[in-house]
Amino acid sequence: MIRSYLRPFGVAALGIAFSFTASFAAEVIEADVCIYGGTSGGVAAAVQAARMGKSVVIAEPGRHLGGMTSGGLSAVDIGDPRSVGGISREYFTKLAATVGIVLAWDKAFVAKGGGPATGGAYAIEPHKAEEVYAQMAEEAGVKVHFKARLAKVIKSGARITEFITEEGTTFRAKMFLDTTYEGDLMAKAGVSYTLMREGNAKYGETYNGIYYDEKYIPRTGHLQPGETGRVTGGQGVWDRDFPLDPYVVKGDPKSGLLPLIQEGEPGKPGEPAPGVQAYCFRLCLSVDPANSIAITPPSDYDPKRYEIVARFIEACLANGDDMDLRWFSKHDALPNQKWDFNTATFGGNMPGASHEWPEASYARRDEIAKEHENYHRGLLHFLATDSRVPEKVRNDMKRFGLPKDEFTDNGGWPHQIYVREARRMVSDLILTEHHTFGREIAPKSVSLGSYGTDTHEIRRIVKDGVVIREGKTAGGRDGFGPYQIGYDCIVPKQSECENLFVTFALSCSHTAFSSLRMEPVFMVTSQSAATAAVMAIEDDLPVQKVDYEKLRSRLEKDGQVLTWKFKDGGH
């Protein structure tokens, strides 16, 4: 039974910043299953456990459900839709139905315009995504507690008994799932994890550690794009790297580096190195004047901060580019005159600014998120107003504003920063590039991954006298189809914790995570974890000892896809 002071959660509660009085500070909330993180995976896990008859509570450190899927990542990448089942398929089917779209789950995506066949059929407005998550949670009887920032985890031996939030609320449960992007509960529980790019030698990989992809080595002579913004071969104009001078005074290292360029040595390719992928905000912008708020710059806006962007523009013009806004953000159409803005060579990403995030306090994370917001607001203002920006780009940028009906408690700006990578658990099974490329098959499958090897840059530094993006990859997996994600990579070592599942910060190498990190996969894996959590409760077992054949049978009964059976998938 759940004891909670939070009123029943419903769609009407969306967007409300809940306020709790001091009299509730010592409240104890008890449930069979506690989900830490109201992300897309968190909701999927909670709904599954509740449908299996258990009392479930979501403790979410923020104010919203859905994580990135309702936080601006509207044009969702997936890989192959046939590899996704269960609640994830149910959710996206419901979401698409809100705008009258029927998804074809039995067919692979078809590549268009030379780009990867990764999806886009799920491109729905963020507020509708949150509504569907809320409805599914409410219908399942899940209780939701917002602003539950984790302070302390209490264990008895190798079992979590409870955790306490910064506000003093205690959450007690038999089973816990960490569905945060950062792996916060996992870390507080004393479970082993890493923040290192391991280096290629550790697991015999190719794309790990310090890395310079040939496609993103600075060069001149870029081809001109077709209508889709992509050149022959598929590379988009939003991914162009020129040999840009990084110094305040061109050619003079003593003048110092320009803003947005990091200090640091290039290093040796393949060697281990710290650093996580660049973060950004995935903006939802509107071109409807009746539903738009002007994008204002930060109070300390200084166009000099974007000098490297001006030099990028110079290089593009010298290359003969007829520039438009796509050069600064791949953007995909959403219903009702809205667009989902991704990033670019010089877009929303702030390489290096994310490195502190995984281990930072919540207060410091708020500051880092604001730094990203201020940078991005300033960039958009620069693109709309600076005379060095081509008129075509300026006019294009001026069409867009923040939608009045999205993120209404945050002025139209997304409430969720895109945490592309943070902590990764180190457990008995570590998924590596060998698994994602099909050279090894992970045992005890609980879900499938199907996306390419997509790593956003780790650093923007100087190498050979010019600006370069270190750590970026964007490729396939040698044609291999969907691969298995094994049960043992979502549970800790038994000696460390017996009643915890970790479904986003799961046990894998840095380069494997570049493929694993997709939201639909996160949802599938989390549903499987919740199913196993219920079985662990009912059979009174540590999570490491759950009967896999029994688990597999239930997962398949619930519509999960655990093995790949199509001949066109590389098997």
* pLDDT tens digits along 191-247: 999 999 999 999 999 999 999 999 999 999 999 999 989 999 889 999 999 999 999
Structure tokens at 210: 């310090």
AA letter at 228? T
Phi-psi region at 346: left, alpha or beta (left = phi > 0; alpha = psi -120 to 50): beta
Structure tokens at 324: 């438009």
pLDDT digits (tens, 9 = 90+) for 504-543: 999 999 999 999 999 999 999 999 999 999 999 999 999 9
Lowest mean pLDDT among 94-108, 129-143, 167-181, 423-437: 94-108
**Once rounded to an integer, what is the mean pLDDT over residues 12-33?**
59
pLDDT value of position 120: 56
AA letter at 338? K
pLDDT value of position 99: 87
Strand 500-502 and strand 170-178: the pairing is parallel
Q: Is residue 135 part of a domain?
A: no
DSSP SS3 for 384: helix
Structure tokens at 415: 């409430």
pLDDT digits (tens, 9 = 90+) for 281-304: 999 999 999 999 999 999 999 999
Q: What is the largest CA-CA distance in the chain?
A: 69
Number of domains composing the chain: 1
C-alpha distances out from residue 54 to 47, 385, 490, Å: 10, 56, 21
Question: Is 345 in contact with 469 (CB distance < 8 Å)?
Answer: yes
Q: Exposed, middle or buried by CB within 10 Å (0-12, 13-18, 19+), for 300?
A: exposed
Banded model confidence at residue 107, pLDDT cuts 50, 70, 90: confident
Question: Is 515 in contact with 476 (CB distance < 8 Å)?
Answer: no
pLDDT value of position 297: 98
C-alpha distances out from residue 138 to 60, 85, 306, 490, Å: 15, 21, 46, 26
pLDDT value of position 101: 84
Task: Tokens 């094994």: give the residue.
Answer: 486
pLDDT value of position 116: 56
C-alpha distances out from residue 361 to 179, 192, 259, 356, Å: 18, 19, 26, 10
Question: Is 467 in contact with 312 (CB distance < 8 Å)?
Answer: no
Banded model confidence at residue 323, pLDDT cuts 50, 70, 90: very high
Q: How far apart are CA 84 and CA 559, in angstroms?
A: 9
pLDDT digits (tens, 9 = 90+) for 363-413: 999 999 999 999 999 999 999 999 999 999 999 999 999 999 999 999 999
Structure tokens at 185: 């509960």
Q: Is residue 326 part of a domain?
A: yes
Residues 6+ apart with CB under 8 A from 62: 38, 146, 147, 415, 416
Q: How far apart are CA 145 and CA 20, in angstroms?
A: 11
Question: Is 440 in contact with 508 (CB distance < 8 Å)?
Answer: no
pLDDT value of position 514: 97
pLDDT value of position 565: 87
Strand 196-197 and strand 292-293: the pairing is unpaired
pLDDT digits (tens, 9 = 90+) for 58-82: 999 999 999 999 999 998 877 788 9
Question: Which value, in Å, is the radius of gyration of the alpha carbons in the chain?
Answer: 23
Average pLDDT, the chain: 92
pLDDT value of position 337: 96
Share of the chain above pLDDT 90, in %: 86
Q: How far apart are CA 35 and CA 140, in angstroms?
A: 14
Residues 6+ apart with CB under 8 A from 401: 285, 286, 287, 289, 292, 293, 294, 295, 412
DSSP SS3 for 249: strand
The pTM is what?
0.94
* Residue 447, φ and ψ in degrees, nearest 5: -175, 175
pLDDT digits (tens, 9 = 90+) for 149-202: 999 999 999 999 999 999 999 999 999 999 999 999 999 999 999 999 999 999
Q: Is residue 247 part of a domain?
A: yes
Task: Tokens 């290039």: give the residue.
Answer: 266
Sign of CA dihedral 336, 342, 347, 351: positive
Q: How far apart are CA 476 and CA 229, in angstroms?
A: 20
Structure tokens at 306: 């974007």
Q: How far apart are CA 7 and CA 482, in angstroms?
A: 42
3-state percent helix, strand, coil for the chain, nearest multiple of 5:
30, 20, 50
Give the closest residue to 454 by CA, choosing from 429, 431, 479, 471: 471
Banded model confidence at residue 24, pLDDT cuts 50, 70, 90: very low
The better pLDDT of the pair 314, 107 is held by: 314
Alpha carbon 534 to chain centroid distance? 27
Q: Would you say residue 14 has pLDDT above 90?
A: no
* Residue 507, φ and ψ in degrees, nearest 5: -80, 105
Task: Tokens 């069979």: give the residue.
Answer: 32
Range of the domain at 378: 202-410
Q: Exposed, middle or buried by CB within 10 Å (0-12, 13-18, 19+), for 259?
A: middle
DSSP 278: P
pLDDT value of position 301: 98
Structure tokens at 460: 């923007």
DSSP SS3 for 508: strand
Q: Is residue 54 part of a domain?
A: no
Residues 6+ apart with CB under 8 A from 297: 377, 378, 380, 381
Strand 459-463 and strand 466-470: the pairing is antiparallel
pLDDT value of position 23: 37
**Once rounded to an integer, what is the mean pLDDT over residues 553-565?**
96
DSSP 173: E
Banded model confidence at residue 22, pLDDT cuts 50, 70, 90: very low
Question: Is 505 in contact with 182 (CB distance < 8 Å)?
Answer: yes
DSSP SS3 for 265: coil
- Catalogue the long-range contacts made by 228-233 (C-beta closer than 8 Å, 24 or more residues apart): 228/112, 228/113, 228/114, 228/115, 229/113, 229/326, 229/330, 230/113, 230/114, 230/115, 231/114, 232/114, 233/114
Q: Is residue 215 part of a domain?
A: yes
Question: Is 367 in contact with 361 (CB distance < 8 Å)?
Answer: no
Q: How far apart are CA 471 and CA 211, in angstroms?
A: 5
**Once rounded to an integer, what is the mean pLDDT over residues 433-460?**
97
pLDDT value of position 26: 77
